[in-house]
Structure 1
Amino acid sequence: MSRFLFVAPPLVGHVNPLTGVARELVARGHRVAWAGHGELLGALVREPVFPCAVPEDAPVERPAGLTGPSAFQFLWRDFFVPLADAMAPGVAAAVDAFEPDVVVSDQHAVAGALVAERRGVPCVGSASTSAELVDPLASMPKVAAWVDALLAALRERHGNPLARNDPRYPEHGVLAFTTAALAGPVDRPGLHLVGPALGEPRPGVEFPWAELDGRPVVLVSLGTANTGVGGRFLRAAAEAFADRPGVRAVVVDPGGELGPVPDNVLVRHRVPQLELLPRCAAVVCHSGHNTVCEALWHGVPLVLAPIRDDQPLVAAQVVDAGAGLRLRFARAGAEAIGKAVDAVLDPAGGHRDAARAIGDSFRAAGGAGAAADHLIAVAR
């Protein structure tokens, strides 16, 4: 029996893929613990949690309209670096108390990798999204050098100053919850493309299943992290279905942005997404990696309106794979959204076939089981 310590940032989308891996390890008789935001992890995981301090305003609120390299730099300077400094003492205490054989550190919770290298504990990275797999800064050498300097300073404070690898890519590899069928060719050494490790359905989310009356279901969701910025898009999406009575739309509106909607539009603050997706014919979303992978797992094509961060990259991967279409979030109106939905629902377009092929690749990759295999091999 081995011990595995999972280190995660206070971001639900980064925790969710690892919960399935943790369950798999426990089912095989191993011990698992977590280090991170105590309240968030306590609501998401079953295993013991070692709470770590996090910045008071985590997750950080970015200025409206901040995009591109400026948004990337803001995230690192104002969130990821302060997060690493805040978490490092708690991670060190967790390593000392739990004595893990392996630390599994999310790429954006670099305190995990740095403390592990200082303590001499083997570390495996976790890439919850494809953003870091294709070197998004390859065309921006000055920004890349700036990030390298930030990481070097963090290493001086919390890691082994003699180490030379990027702490986002520990020496024992990185678990990437995708496949080449979606991400495309990836030539970084040490990557283990295990496919998605789907989380568990969350209990207590009620849904009026009887109102799904046999018409094709289209789910519209911008995720909970985009509450407050998606009102215009959600209203346009609801309007798009006014001329499509043959479709049953389910719009997720956590912020209560919508007023009256067409009769064929069902508005909910929350939905049981994992249970709903097998009944969907299409998904309209913001290109969040988890939502995209969950839809493709079920062979559901996508209409994508990326907002920020890794979302444009994920959207490009889906489009390149033929499994969906991309819109401009800030400009797409009801007409454009409606036409895109029509296109991905049309069997002749091939989007559903492409989505199913990616879903097949996900299942073949092994998911949580394949991730657990690698972690156990490292522990041995």
Structure 2
Amino acid sequence: MMTIGRELQRRGHTVYLLGIPDVAHHASKGAVDFAAIGTAEFPPGALDSYLTLIRNVNLLTIRKGIDWAERMSRSLCRDATAAVESLGLDALLVDQCQTEGRTIADLTGVPYLSICNALNLEGDASGETPPPFLPWTPGEGRAVQRFRNRLGHQVFASMMAPIVTQTNKFRTTRRLPLLRNWEECISPLGTINNLTQGMDFPRGIQQRPMFYTGPYLDERPNEVPFPWEQLDGRPLIYASLGTLHTAKWHILEAIAHACANLPVQLVVSLGQWTQEDKTIALPGQPITVSYAPQLTLLARASVAITHAGANTVMEALAHGCPLVAIPLASDQPAIAARVTWAGAGVVVAPGQVTRKRLQRAISTVLEQTSMRMKAAALQQEILQAGGVMAAANVIETVLGDHLALRLNQQPN
């Protein structure tokens, strides 16, 4: 989002990040303005508590996550509406996961576009596209699969219902019509999607415009230190298992064992584990760093081992790098399913991780020319999609046309 914001600001627009106090530093790093919302419900430190919660997903944490979303919905509807009016904003860009954009737009008359930063959550009544968060495949005209997919979308909608209920409570106080489901919160003007069509499942029904732009890569110089002199010329394997849903230590150890028995050099970005009371000693003496200059390493890597987060997957493919995916939580199993469907890598389920299984998976990706060719083809598709420049073009065109139409409709 900050990458898009910087590009819009470069084009002469004034850009604000509206967020809870803990995200102010993102605005500073992104060189955009910031307006705090939700300060009563989310004092400084609240975000760290939430991220710690969702790193270990279970039924209890899911319930607490929904509680968080309900409180966020309440504060966003209240404070973001006030911020839009006080700042005199002309348009909004709303993360698709945030259901409050519709209500803010209804109250202020300001148009908005939805931004899909990970996986498109919109349902597909045809049953062709499987629901998010599950490693299912497209229906491809098969009745059983389509029925299963439609049922999955209904279950997902029921999971989102408490958030819609919270939003409707607010809408009632402002005498707005009630929302029937969360999908009514997606912008009718469309969604900007950071995947490409080649990395997304086909849809039977597309209710709203979908703009596939590819990933919003931040190509600014990365100041993260890295021991470049330790790279020795062997095929590079880059492993990063995320900063939110971080892998268990045994998975990192299995990756290291697998690479130690191959003629490769492993680089591991540890993320959360640098905060743990652990000795950072992995088999085979890989290069281990707290955080890595990821884009630069992916440009050199032969294989990326990832938790199948949308950002890392698309950044790897943007550099033509095939993948070994170990999906851990949230939408990662669904994104991993798209990796294998696109032919750009293989998946190893977390519960099936062993050093031998990972060694076979890495060897397969290294040796199969078809996977490298598919990753290279997706790299070209991402390049042609346009990334952040294309996203900014869509924003200027769609929202600009809408604002111009609204001005023309106003009485003299």
TM-score, with structure 1 as normaliser: 0.86
2:31 aligned partner: 46
**1:1-380 alignment runs, 5 A limit:** 18-43=1-26, 44-53=29-38, 55=42, 56=46, 57-59=49-51, 61-62=53-54, 64=56, 66=58, 74=63, 77-133=66-122, 134=129, 135-136=131-132, 138-140=150-152, 141-148=154-161, 150-158=163-171, 161-162=176-177, 166-186=183-203, 187-188=205-206, 189-201=208-220, 203-227=222-246, 229-244=247-262, 246-254=263-271, 255-256=273-274, 257=278, 259-348=280-369, 350-377=370-397, 378-380=399-401
Paired AA for residue 45 in structure 1: G
Unaligned runs of 5+ in 2: 123-128, 133-148, 402-412
Q: In 2 relative to 1, CA 264–118 (structure 1 residues): closer, same or farther, beyond 3 Å? A: same
Please tell me whether the aligned partners of residues 113 and 190 of structure 2 are also in contact (alpha carbons under 8 angstroms): yes
Mapped to 2, the partners of 1:322 and 1:258 lie a distance apart of: 37
| Farther off after superposition, 367-376 or 198-207 | 198-207
Larger Rg: 2
Q: In 2 relative to 1, CA 295–89 (structure 1 residues): closer, same or farther, beyond 3 Å? A: same
Q: How many residues align?
A: 357
Paired AA for residue 191 in structure 1: M
Q: Per-residue CA shift, 1:270-289, capped at 9, x if unaligned?
A: 11112211011111110000
Please tell me whether the aligned partners of residues 118 and 160 of structure 1 are also in contact (alpha carbons under 8 angstroms): no
Mapped to 2, the partners of 1:211 and 1:320 lie a distance apart of: 35
Mapped to 2, the partners of 1:237 and 1:148 lie a distance apart of: 39
Mapped to 1, the partners of 2:11 and 2:259 lie a distance apart of: 47
Mapped to 1, the partners of 2:73 and 2:394 lie a distance apart of: 26
Please tell me whether the aligned partners of residues 108 and 168 of structure 1 are also in contact (alpha carbons under 8 angstroms): no
Please tell me whether the aligned partners of residues 242 and 307 of structure 2 are also in contact (alpha carbons under 8 angstroms): yes
Q: Secondary structure at the match of 1:226?
A: coil
Please tell me whether the aligned partners of residues 237 and 303 of structure 2 are also in contact (alpha carbons under 8 angstroms): yes
Mapped to 2, the partners of 1:115 and 1:36 lie a distance apart of: 14
Please tell me whether the aligned partners of residues 253 and 283 of structure 2 are also in contact (alpha carbons under 8 angstroms): no
| Farther off after superposition, 217-226 or 79-88 | 79-88
The Cα shift of 1:37 comes to 2.8
The Cα shift of 1:329 comes to 1.0
Paired AA for residue 373 in structure 1: N
RMSD: 2.5
Mapped to 2, the partners of 1:65 and 1:118 lie a distance apart of: 35
Q: Secondary structure at the match of 1:110?
A: coil
| Farther off after superposition, 101-110 or 153-162 | 153-162
Please tell me whether the aligned partners of residues 239 and 267 of structure 2 are also in contact (alpha carbons under 8 angstroms): yes
The Cα shift of 1:20 comes to 2.1
Q: In 2 relative to 1, CA 224–143 (structure 1 residues): closer, same or farther, beyond 3 Å? A: closer
| Farther off after superposition, 56-65 or 286-295 | 56-65
TM-score, with structure 2 as normaliser: 0.80
Percentage of matched positions with identical amino acids: 27
Mapped to 2, the partners of 1:376 and 1:152 lie a distance apart of: 33
Q: In 2 relative to 1, CA 262–143 (structure 1 residues): closer, same or farther, beyond 3 Å? A: closer
Q: Per-residue CA shift, 1:249-279, capped at 9, x if unaligned?
A: 0012231456433445111111111221101
Paired AA for residue 32 in structure 2: E
Paired AA for residue 50 in structure 2: A
The Cα shift of 1:31 comes to 1.6
Mapped to 2, the partners of 1:107 and 1:181 lie a distance apart of: 21
Mapped to 2, the partners of 1:142 and 1:262 lie a distance apart of: 43
Q: Secondary structure at the match of 2:352?
A: coil
